[in-house]
Structure 1
Amino acid sequence: MAGAMGQRLPELIAEYEVPGAALAYLHQGELHEFAAGTLNTATGVESTTDSLYQIGSITKVWTATLLMLQIERGNLTLDTPVAQVLPEFRVADAEVTKTVTIRHLLSHTSGIDGDLFLDTGRGDDCVEKYVAACADLVQNHPLGVTQSYCNSGFTVAGRVLERLTGKRWDDVLREDIIEPLGLTHTWTLPEDVLRFRAAMGHVDGAPAPVWGLMRSAGPAGLICARPADVVSFARAHLEGGLLDDPRAMWEPQVDIPNPYTLGRQWGIGWIVDEWDGRRVISHGGNTIGQHAMLWAVPDTGTIVCAAANGGHTGAFTRAVATELFKELDGLTVPPVLGPPGTPVEVDAARYTGLYERAGARITVSLRDGAPWLRMEPTGALAGLQQPQECELTAVDETTFVFKTPDSPEWMSAVFFELPDGSPYVHLGARATPKTG
């Protein structure tokens, strides 16, 4: 397969209109690396295996690992309230302010409406300033009752690390993970990334208007690395080298209401799924025009990391994983949920209305009796994406699939209710409440 992937990677980036990509995988103890395409279509610089790509939210597994190291050292527990470490911490709900725990943050169960992308400057106090700005964040759902992806929670977790250690999150990351594992191509700040070949994100086929996210997003998504370094990080989770008990991070903490997007459950940092009866831990990351995916199969020791800088990145990394895991471990990556073979009749009128959370406004309506979804980005990143409208196709009473105009893959939306009957839609790993 190693030789075949050297040929397949250029074919796959062409198929999925990806400017450049890099791939590393570990199988039976041997590391394999590949790269294809260009890092930047404006400069034509070649993508190489030692090029740094933005791994986005895969960073969250690193931040969760740093917290678990603090737990193993006896400095806190998963159920320590955040306010115990950060007495100044505030969100809009006073009870959540007092009771939200480290476990809630790391498993995306805090309910804090967490897509606040806020530039608090380039200074070493940027994470501290960001946490202060969280005081106005409302609840997306009540504490602990379901799962909804929360970027803000991981920046708060990064601030917990800073308070416990008296150091910047970037420095804690370097001292507790990067240096112990001997990672030479893993950095967080652009002035360090510039010393290497670095990928530029692409949006609509052209270089992105900005290179990266604001520094305050660091603990949630600012690591840049070559895929081989990311594989080494995951290898330490499977084989040891960082935590005394890395399996504690794989234990499911919550079922994901929409299991068709990323996986069935969330652990501590990791997404937890099952393929052909084998546990798979994973995480993905998206920044401005860049995307990365990391998968690991504890039973076989196989680890795959793929990174891309534009085009149909999600479909591309899924195609890479589908081919690799079938060949390496005989595992079938679950296919993307699509329309049923026989149309399903569902009364979708009950789901019509407005759903809102920080960063998104979702409207469900009926057109000639068919349900339609309108998604509008709001907030700081709204200018980077236009509103999209898609027809919904029913799979069952609560599950619908749709395609956006710019993607070859189906996406899924699951309508569900909390125990108190409150209506929600789960889309893109986030629970969005019905507000009108």
Structure 2
Amino acid sequence: MKADIEHWTSRLAALAADCEVPGASLAYWYGSELHECATGVLNTATGAPVRADSLFQIGSVTKVWTATQMMLLVEQGRITLDTPVAEILPEFTVGDLHATAAITLRHLLTHTSGIDGDLFLDTGRGDDCLRRYVEACADLEQTFPVGDSHSYCNSGFVIAGRVVEQLTGKVWDQALREQICDPLGLTHTWTLPEDVLRFGAAAGHDEHGAVVAQWGLPRSVGPAGLICARAADVVAFGRAHLTPGALLADPAALRRAQVDLPHSYGGGRQWGIGWCLDEWDGHQVVSHTGDTIGQHAALWVLPEPGTVVAVLINGGRSVEFQHRLVTELLGDLHGIDVPAPLTPPEPPVDVDIEPFTGVYERAGSRIHVTAHEGGLRLRTEPTGILVGLARSRTLDLVAVDATTFVGRDAGDSLWDAVVFERRPDGPSYLHYSGRATPKAR
């Protein structure tokens, strides 16, 4: 089939129907050509159709854009990756004074700062919202000592966005336009609702296909996940990371491994600068996914063949949908065998589960791990500011090896991986959903 867009339009629609996805947009660069298709509706309440130029929320894919802004400043000699954040932001402090002094820009961009950082705090719509957010980080504690592990940290990228503001003298949204959007000619990439509304914009949907009550995230978390874009613009951004001089003199610097991941079953084995790094069937793959309220996005870049794929989704079984789509697409374009998600082994693995039981806790989440019918049961409990935003999940875990388990909540089609890390000379961690959660008791 190769790049037969009629075929992929049909497959996009079929997969969306099968995964109960209201609407989706696909764009990919292959064979020196952009290919685009779309299916479904932007909003089940209105029936407005998805078009190739419709805007979706790309969520945490935004983080790669923020990392790119930072690397532009590095290439200009304004900072280095090892510049301490506190040297740039006088308002920056966290709960641990040693961590405040030790955290560098590299730590922020590689999720190794240890900041307990799922702080989804609305500090208003004003141009000072990032500064006020950073000031509110003063009470954040450390999940682990600076640089000791990897734990996905939204707060770190908001802080990075504030560094961009401090060094450019522009609010983050404007700096984004001047540093990335305008040079690449991205006409359908915006951050603020009043700009997004000028285009056909997707609404998020819950698991039943109903439009969610809250359309987007607060402006204060912009650098961590606020960009809205059409799929073609996301592909153009990905292509810029394969072309020296398109934005960065050395875009490959962002995809050089910085840290090995303790949980390598969630999309990558290592982390670069902003990018998640993996290898599929002998091909390097750099990627990032993003979730907002009822929307999901994924961007994959394959440096060797120069192929870039972006898919934007507004509900349904989005993770299953994007995995099935990229598996078919890359298999067809390049013969790549995309790794299948982890599943329970046959025969079952016998593991001593007692050391893993207990309560694990970090900002916004308390995780209970208990013995259940000869195995383990994991139950997440949103806490603090995430109450009402995140839902509780219950997973009955099946052992894959001595420290790795898989489980799935009621209604889930894919298994989630959970990795336990026991350190004889330090805290024990539960690695799940990209986060390291220390054992509290």
| Deviation, structure 1 residue 418 | 4.5
Amino acid at match of 2:239: R
Amino acid at match of 2:318: T
**Cα distance between partner residues in 2 of 1:221 and 1:336:** 25
**Cα distance between partner residues in 2 of 1:420 and 1:349:** 19
| Deviation, structure 1 residue 417 | 3.0
The one of 241, 256, 260 aligned to 1:255: 260
Q: Does 1:377 align with 2:382?
A: yes
CA contact under 8 A between 1:262 and 1:429: conserved in structure 2? no
The one of 209, 212, 221 aligned to 1:217: 221
**Cα distance between partner residues in 1 of 2:306 and 2:367:** 40
TM-score by length of 2: 0.98
| Deviation, structure 1 residue 379 | 2.7
Residue in 2 that maps onto 1:192: 195
Query: What percentage of residue pairs aligned between the two structures are identical?
Result: 59
Distance 1:410 1:300, change over 3 A: same
Residue in 2 that maps onto 1:318: 323
| Deviation, structure 1 residue 386 | 3.2
Q: Does 1:95 align with 2:95?
A: no
Q: Does 1:388 align with 2:393?
A: yes
Q: Does 1:277 align with 2:274?
A: no
What's the RMSD between the two structures over aligned residues? 0.9
Residue in 1 that maps onto 2:133: 130
CA contact under 8 A between 1:23 and 1:34: conserved in structure 2? yes
Q: Does 1:51 align with 2:58?
A: no
Amino acid at match of 2:204: G
**Cα distance between partner residues in 2 of 1:15 and 1:379:** 36
Residue in 2 that maps onto 1:355: 360
Amino acid at match of 2:26: L
**Cα distance between partner residues in 1 of 2:378 and 2:47:** 38
| Match runs of 1:24-423 below 5 Å | 24-204=27-207, 205-240=209-244, 241-418=246-423, 420-423=425-428
CA contact under 8 A between 2:116 and 2:141: conserved in structure 1? yes
| Deviation, structure 1 residue 388 | 2.0
| Deviation, structure 1 residue 369 | 2.2
**Structure 1: any 5+ residue segments left out of the alignment?**
none
DSSP 3-state at the match of 2:124: coil
CA contact under 8 A between 2:26 and 2:38: conserved in structure 1? yes
Flag as ranges the 4+ runs of structure 1 deviating above 4 A.
none
For residues 194-215 of structure 1, the C-alpha deviation after alignment (integer angstroms, 9 at most, x for no partner) is 0000000001321011000011
TM-score by length of 1: 0.99
DSSP 3-state at the match of 1:384: coil
**Structure 2: any 5+ residue segments left out of the alignment?**
none
For residues 47-94 of structure 1, the C-alpha deviation after alignment (integer angstroms, 9 at most, x for no partner) is 110000000000000000000000000000000000111122100000
**Cα distance between partner residues in 2 of 1:302 and 1:386:** 36
**Cα distance between partner residues in 1 of 2:143 and 2:328:** 38
